[in-house]
Amino acid sequence: MKVLKFGGTSVGSSNNINNVINILETYSKSSKVACIVSAVGGITDKLLLAGNQAKNKDKSFVDSFNSIKDIHIAIIKELNTSQSDTILSYLDEKLNALKNLLDGIYLINELSPKTSDKLVSFGELLSSFIIAETMKNRGLSAERKNSQELIVTNSNFTKAEVNYNLTYSNIQGYFKSANQQITILPGFISKSDMGEITTLGRGGSDFTAAIVAAALKVEQLEIWTDVSGMYTTNPKMVKQAYPIKNISYQEAMELSHFGAKVLYPPTVQPVLDLNIPIHIKNTNAPNDSGTIISNQNINNNTTVKGISNIGNIALLTLEGSGMIGIPGFSKRLFETLAQEKVNVILITQASSEHSICIGIDTNDAERAKTAVDKTFENEIALHKIDPIVVETGLSIIALVGDNMKNHQGISGKMFSSLGKNNINIRAIAQGASEKNISAVIAYKDVKKALNTLHEQFFEAKTKQLNVFITGVGNVGERLVEQIKQQKIFLKENLKINLRVIGLSNSRKMVFNEDGIDLNDWKNQLFNGEQATLSGFFQQVKDLNLRNSIFVDVTANSDVANLYANYLRESIGVVACNKIACSSDLDNYKLLKRLSLKYNAPFLFETNVGAGLPVIDTLNNLVASGDKITSIQAVLSGSLNFVFNNFNDNTKFHDVVKQAQEEGYTEPDPRIDLSGVDVARKILILARESGVEMNLEDISNESFLSEAGIKSDTVDDFFQSLITDEVHYQNLYASAKAKNCQLKYVAQFNNGKASVGLQEIPEGHPFYNLEGKDNIVMFYTQRYPEQPMIIKGAGAGADVTASGLFADIIRVGNN
Ligand code: ADP
Ligand code: ASP
Ligand code: MG
């Protein structure tokens, strides 16, 4: 004898029912088969919905009823049996009874647990009849046996307890004399010893199957569902989840108790007692190996076997100084909850005994609070304890594994990886058996938490980075292209799965939680929604993905003003925008503090020298205990261009114009020529060296003419360059006379910084600096005479993009 159970989706359409019939036909060739079926997928929910609508005097219960009817009629028609008349007339009879029941509920305005069980029983009665009749009609040796005649329970409606002795003997008796090869049994439904209709609890068809398997002492129980086994975690929440090959009864029970819906927890007990393995299989992929739940073949090397979660949790806290040292509080608390039939899912108690915290289903919260407040009425009146506090909107996540107890550091890893991703933990419970570590977190964080933990315990080898880029102009575009090109390399060599989730320019923004297809990003951005900075931030926050990184490729101060918001959400910030780091010292310090506090890296290597590793080198020197004594640097590609091309044959105005036209200067060239841009850069280096200063503290003696400094507009400025050509020619002539080159130099010496034009003599490292190159010389305690020199292209879209890229990878390695 074989026992198989098919769940709601497996019998949810005519197509799937045909798959089921094929599987049963094959099995029946070598053995008799008992097949337990659920209601057609979604029907139990719809029945309950209709019942509640009727109870609430909501006429739309008729619509729900009609939808139930239509679904079944469609399936019967599609199954296309010549006996559809028999099936349709049974359907008709049952639907009439159902309609009468709903009308009754509507009239009396009440839906008791007893009526509710009667109501939902229609689901399994219909599905089992349709399947059995279809099989008979196709010439198979099949009969439907109503489980209500076999499974006997008490009258605990909606979740009745089974009388195993009676039930087992009924089942054994029936099958002893049954002649058909295939017996179809409705799952979930039963009858009390008084003959009332009862059910075994939501998801209870699994339980029916286990009861039949145990009664018949079969070799294994097969649960056929819509996924290929019990997964490492809910596959609908975590794409990387995979089926667990072998798992122990205890682990399976623990996982299912904590929300792995694929198995109804009580299912395990009857088969565990007889050591009957449960095999979970996929109706849509019958060749997949699935999961075997048993006491054998347990791989002892794995620690965490799976991660599960339950939503809709409320936390009840009983607190007060009057509880300390006085026995009996917990007893009274739990007795009250038991009387109210409130199922306690998680318990924690502070060791000071000052508080007891319990996790329960939110639907029970109000009832529980009222009852507990009543129980402790006196103590509350005497202020010995506080009225019970209820928090909702929570979920439990749990790590499960028989072997966790033999390994240290699992809870440490669990909580630190959650913490790093800014997931706040409200309560923690660890069973003494250490098969389970659970935490209560906000419902909104569940998906992030599951993905984080799954990555930590099951995919330790790859790390997913979720990148959001604002500003896809010249540099931003190069960055996206570089990411596209390097994606596979990063995955294979650095085990980093880099995904661009959001993109924005000043007009449009686009998001894709699964990663934007970078082959087509421009088109997607073009068709995106209207961009706003706050809207972009809100979406990044709401998506709530682990390892999120915000990348600022703008020069916009409004974008820079949002960094604090990102960091507070534990979202790393990578910026080529210099504004934040050269802003007011308090703001710079705030961002640094937030970055530490929320464990969110804030990196801005490209603020100085584009892709050159200037800041990283400086940070490494400081971190290793070196002290920066002096920095000498040429940090402006644009000013280099200007002074490399300016001589007695060219006009200063023309050279500046050319630099502007070729994109070497900011659109407003005064930002470069006034030295402000360079001052910002040396300010950032000074700050990173550990010196607190502001932009005003940097001395900046301008080489511009009086009129140039005072110009109000860019046009005025260019006009002044023409008028004051002599002034600029004099600068050149003076340098030439001394055989010097003009370079715009930034300096930092003993806590003071300055920027200005200098005449550089031959032989000096700055003398031959070409094109857009930058050079930085660090004099430190360890490099006192011969400085550490970093030199190379200090501007350009490609090198800046690669600097941003390097920062993103640094965040990933954090
Ligand atoms: P059935 O109707 O066949 O009884 P269920 O919907 O009750 O199926 O259970 C299967 C569903 O359980 C899957 O589709 C999946 O969404 C959910 N699920 C949750 N956690 C897990 C897990 N760890 N492994 C497999 N499935 C899970
Ligand atoms: N149909 C019932 C439910 O949806 C029982 C089951 O499918 O296991 O809960
Ligand atoms: Mg189920």
CATH code, domain carrying 206: 3.40.1160.10
Q: What is the pLDDT of residues 161-185, one digit of tens each?
A: 999 999 999 999 999 999 999 999 9
Query: Which strand (E) or helix (H) includes residue 81?
Result: none
Compute, in angstroms, the gap from residue 151 CA to the centroid of ligand 3: 19
- Kindly state if the Cβ of 244 falls inside 6 Å of ligand 2: no
Q: Whose CA is nearest to atom 5 of ligand 2?
A: 203
Ligand 2 atom index nearest CA of 38? 7
Beta bridge partners of 803: none
Q: Percent of the chain scored above 90 by pLDDT?
A: 85
Q: What is the pLDDT of residues 178-211, one digit of tens each?
A: 999 999 999 999 999 999 999 999 999 999 999 9
Ligand 1 atom index nearest CA of 225? 3
Q: What is the total count of domains within the chain? A: 4
pLDDT confidence of residue 320: 86
Neighbour-count burial of 102, counting CB atoms closer than 10 A to its CB (0-12 exposed, 13-18 middle, 19+ buried): buried
The verdict on 622 and 648 lying in the same domain is: yes
Structural domain contains residue 600: yes
Q: What is the pLDDT of residues 454-513, one digit of tens each?
A: 999 998 678 899 999 999 988 999 999 999 999 999 998 888 999 999 999 999 999 999
Radius of gyration of the chain (CA): 36
Query: Which strand (E) or helix (H) includes residue 502?
Result: strand 496-504
The verdict on 564 and 690 lying in the same domain is: no
Ligand 1 atom index nearest CA of 8? 2
Structural domain contains residue 273: no
Question: CA 511: distance to chain centroid?
Answer: 15
Q: Best mutation site among 188, 200, 264 for ligand 2, i.e. most ligand atoms within 8 A of its Cβ?
A: 188
Structural domain contains residue 526: yes
Structural domain contains residue 265: no
Structural domain contains residue 300: no
Q: Which long-range contacts (CB under 8 A, 24 or more apart) does 723-729 make?
A: 725/651, 725/652, 725/653, 728/646, 728/652, 729/648, 729/652
Neighbour-count burial of 694, counting CB atoms closer than 10 A to its CB (0-12 exposed, 13-18 middle, 19+ buried): middle
pLDDT confidence of residue 86: 87
pLDDT confidence of residue 420: 85
Q: What is the pLDDT of residues 605-641, one digit of tens each?
A: 999 999 999 999 999 999 999 999 999 999 998 899 8
The verdict on 697 and 603 lying in the same domain is: no
Q: Which long-range contacts (CB under 8 A, 24 or more apart) does 22-27 make?
A: 23/224, 23/283, 23/286, 24/135, 24/140, 24/142, 24/182, 25/135, 25/140, 27/2
How sure is the predictor about 352, in pLDDT bands with cuts at 50, 70 and 90? Answer: low
SS3 state at 800: helix
pLDDT at 84 over 90: no
Mean pLDDT of the chain: 94
Q: Of 399, 425, 457, which residue constitutes the final position of a domain?
A: 457
Q: What is the pLDDT of residues 533-559, one digit of tens each?
A: 999 999 999 999 999 999 999 999 999
Query: Which strand (E) or helix (H) includes residue 447?
Result: helix 446-458
- Kindly state if the Cβ of 669 falls inside 6 Å of ligand 2: no
pLDDT at 297 over 60: no
- Kindly state if the Cβ of 205 falls inside 6 Å of ligand 2: yes
> Looking at residue 313, which CATH number applies to its domain?
3.30.2130.10
Residues in the chain: 814
Compute, in angstroms, the gap from residue 27 CA to the centroid of ligand 3: 22
Query: Which strand (E) or helix (H) includes residue 105?
Result: helix 84-108
Cα–Cα distance measured from residue 219 to residue 274, given in angstroms and rounded to the nearest whole number? 10
Compute, in angstroms, the gap from residue 205 CA to the centroid of ligand 3: 7
Ligand 2 atom index nearest CA of 207? 8
Q: Best mutation site among 223, 225, 292 for ligand 1, i.e. most ligand atoms within 8 A of its Cβ?
A: 225
pLDDT confidence of residue 298: 60
Cα–Cα distance measured from residue 187 to residue 121, given in angstroms and rounded to the nearest whole number? 9
The verdict on 590 and 666 lying in the same domain is: no
Q: Which residues line ligand 1 (CB under 6 A)?
A: 7-10, 38, 203, 225-227, 230-231, 233-236, 260-262, 306, 308
Ligand 2 atom index nearest CA of 188? 5
Compute, in angstroms, the gap from residue 273 CA to the centroid of ligand 1: 24
Cα–Cα distance measured from residue 136 to residue 142, given in angstroms and rounded to the nearest whole number? 6
Lowest average pLDDT, out of 9-13, 461-465, 505-509, 736-740, goes to 461-465
- Kindly state if the Cβ of 609 falls inside 6 Å of ligand 2: no
Compute, in angstroms, the gap from residue 121 CA to the centroid of ligand 3: 16
Query: Which strand (E) or helix (H) includes residue 649?
Result: none
Q: What is the pLDDT of residues 669-693, one digit of tens each?
A: 999 999 999 999 999 999 999 999 9
The verdict on 370 and 427 lying in the same domain is: yes
Q: Residue range 244-262: average pLDDT?
A: 93
pLDDT confidence of residue 296: 77
Give the 3-state secondary structure of 592-642: HHHHHHCCCCEECHHHCCCCCCHHHHHHHHHHCCCCEEEEEEECCHHHHHH
The residues carrying an active-site annotation are 681
Closest ligand to the CA of 209: 2
The verdict on 384 and 398 lying in the same domain is: yes
**Structure pTM?**
0.77
Q: Of 218, 246, 265, which residue constitutes the final position of a domain?
A: 218
pLDDT confidence of residue 83: 73
DSSP H helical segments within 109-147, as ranges?
Answer: 113-137
- Reference 545, options 520, 578, 575, 511; nearest CA is 511
Between helix 652-661 and helix 714-723 the angle, nearest 10°, is: 150
Two structure tokens written together for 214: 């145990």
Cα–Cα distance measured from residue 553 to residue 802, given in angstroms and rounded to the nearest whole number? 12
- Kindly state if the Cβ of 187 falls inside 6 Å of ligand 2: yes
| 561 close to 583: Cβ distance less than 8 angstroms | no
pLDDT confidence of residue 667: 75
pLDDT confidence of residue 636: 92
| 573 close to 602: Cβ distance less than 8 angstroms | yes
Residue type, 311: G
Cα–Cα distance measured from residue 131 to residue 142, given in angstroms and rounded to the nearest whole number? 9
Handedness of CA 767, 769, 770, 774 (dihedral sign): negative
The verdict on 20 and 166 lying in the same domain is: yes
| 570 close to 600: Cβ distance less than 8 angstroms | yes
Structural domain contains residue 289: no
Highest mean pLDDT among 331-345, 409-423, 684-698: 684-698
| 99 close to 47: Cβ distance less than 8 angstroms | no
Residue type, 525: L
Q: Best mutation site among 40, 261, 399 for ligand 1, i.e. most ligand atoms within 8 A of its Cβ?
A: 261
List the domain range (segments joined by +) for residue 669. 614-794
- Reference 258, options 45, 447, 456, 440; nearest CA is 440
Neighbouring residues of 742: CB distance < 8 A, sequence distance ≥ 6? 643, 646, 731, 732, 735, 757, 758, 759, 760
DSSP H helical segments within 178-247, as ranges?
Answer: 205-216
pLDDT confidence of residue 300: 59
Q: Best mutation site among 37, 38, 207 for ligand 2, i.e. most ligand atoms within 8 A of its Cβ?
A: 38
Residue identified by tokens 């923690």 is 428
Q: Best mutation site among 38, 227, 242, 253 for ligand 1, i.e. most ligand atoms within 8 A of its Cβ?
A: 227
The verdict on 471 and 452 lying in the same domain is: no
Compute, in angstroms, the gap from residue 235 CA to the centroid of ligand 3: 15
The verdict on 378 and 494 lying in the same domain is: no
- Kindly state if the Cβ of 44 falls inside 6 Å of ligand 2: yes
Structural domain contains residue 426: yes
The verdict on 506 and 448 lying in the same domain is: no
> Looking at residue 673, which CATH number applies to its domain?
3.30.360.10
Two structure tokens written together for 48: 């309950």
Ligand 1 atom index nearest CA of 230? 24
The verdict on 622 and 602 lying in the same domain is: no
Cα–Cα distance measured from residue 760 to residue 754, given in angstroms and rounded to the nearest whole number? 16
Two structure tokens written together for 811: 């965040």
Q: Residue range 64-80: average pLDDT?
A: 95
Structural domain contains residue 268: no
- Reference 560, options 533, 542, 527; nearest CA is 533
Compute, in angstroms, the gap from residue 619 CA to the centroid of ligand 1: 49
Ligand 2 atom index nearest CA of 264? 8
Q: How many C-alpha atoms does 358 have within 13 Å on its Cβ side?
A: 20
SS3 state at 459: coil
The verdict on 627 and 673 lying in the same domain is: yes
pLDDT at 707 over 70: yes
Closest ligand to the CA of 188: 2
Compute, in angstroms, the gap from residue 31 CA to the centroid of ligand 2: 27
- Kindly state if the Cβ of 128 falls inside 6 Å of ligand 2: no
Q: Of 556, 579, 607, which residue constitutes the final position of a domain?
A: 607
Neighbours of 74 (CB within 10 A): 12
- Kindly state if the Cβ of 266 falls inside 6 Å of ligand 2: no
Two structure tokens written together for 637: 């590609």
Q: What is the pLDDT of residues 753-810, one digit of tens each?
A: 999 999 999 999 999 998 888 999 999 999 999 999 999 988 888 999 999 999 999 9
Compute, in angstroms, the gap from residue 778 CA to the centroid of ligand 2: 71
Q: What is the pLDDT of residues 303-325, one digit of tens each?
A: 899 999 999 999 999 988 888 77
Cα–Cα distance measured from residue 308 to residue 345, given in angstroms and rounded to the nearest whole number? 13
Neighbours of 239 (CB within 10 A): 10
pLDDT confidence of residue 814: 76
Cα–Cα distance measured from residue 187 to residue 276, given in angstroms and rounded to the nearest whole number? 19
Q: Whose CA is nearest to atom 11 of ligand 1?
A: 262
